Amino acid sequence: MKRLLPFFVFVLLCGLLGFGIWWNTHHEMNEVPSPLVGKTAPEFTLPLLYEPTKSLGRKDLLGQPYLLNVFGSWCPTCQDEHPFLMREGKSLGIRLIGLDWKDQPEAAKRWLQQFGNPYQTIIVDEDGHAGIDFGVYGAPETFLVDAQGVIRYKRIGMLTPDVIARELKPQIAAISAGRVATP
């Protein structure tokens, strides 16, 4: 019996690994809950991509909800996501702010020139410090921030048409409804 112990421990381990595979196929890793959802967005002041002398901060964006999309010209998944933002960005009805993350401004400009610019404003986080404050895992990521500056929703990974329709739009609708109700 004692000799079978290593075998049983191994069976347990296999069970755990099998669970890992199952979990992976049924959840996307995007469901890491963000401790920031429901909290005020972190403080930031970042230069604008097209006017580096000007900057944009958290306070400047208060008063209206906005969608903050983390992207980078080096990120292949962002390229996959890009057409959806181009197509549906306008129909969301709120501001779309691009956060060019860990990227060279020149490369980002080239990239946007090639694929189009869905954003109203783009801010640059070259060294990735603002990304750390936002708890960014990797690009792309998207944050929905309401008029009071509170993060209401977070998406890790690509925004697909399905995600936009099923998750993002209801969240935006809820925020808008709340905004109408509060004043």
Residues at the site binding other proteins, with contacts judged by CB under 8 A:
3-4, 6-7, 10-11, 14, 16-21, 23-25, 29, 32-33, 73-74, 77, 103-104, 107, 126-127, 137-138, 156-158
Cα pseudo-dihedral 71, 75, 77, 83, rounded to 10 = 60
6 vs 183 by CB, closer to other proteins: 6
Match 């969240």 to its residue by tokens.
171
We find the least distance from the C-beta atom of residue 109 to other proteins, in angstroms, to be 13
Q: How many residues does the chain have?
A: 183
* DSSP 3-state of 26: helix
70: left (phi over 0), alpha (psi -120 to 50) or beta: beta
8 vs 64 by CB, closer to other proteins: 8
67 vs 108 by CB, closer to other proteins: 108
Q: What is the C-alpha to C-alpha distance for residues 183 and 172, in angstroms, rounded to an integer?
A: 18
We find the least distance from the C-beta atom of residue 79 to other proteins, in angstroms, to be 11
We find the least distance from the C-beta atom of residue 149 to other proteins, in angstroms, to be 26
We find the least distance from the C-beta atom of residue 66 to other proteins, in angstroms, to be 25
Q: What is the C-alpha to C-alpha distance for residues 45 and 65, in angstroms, rounded to an integer?
A: 18
32 vs 86 by CB, closer to other proteins: 32
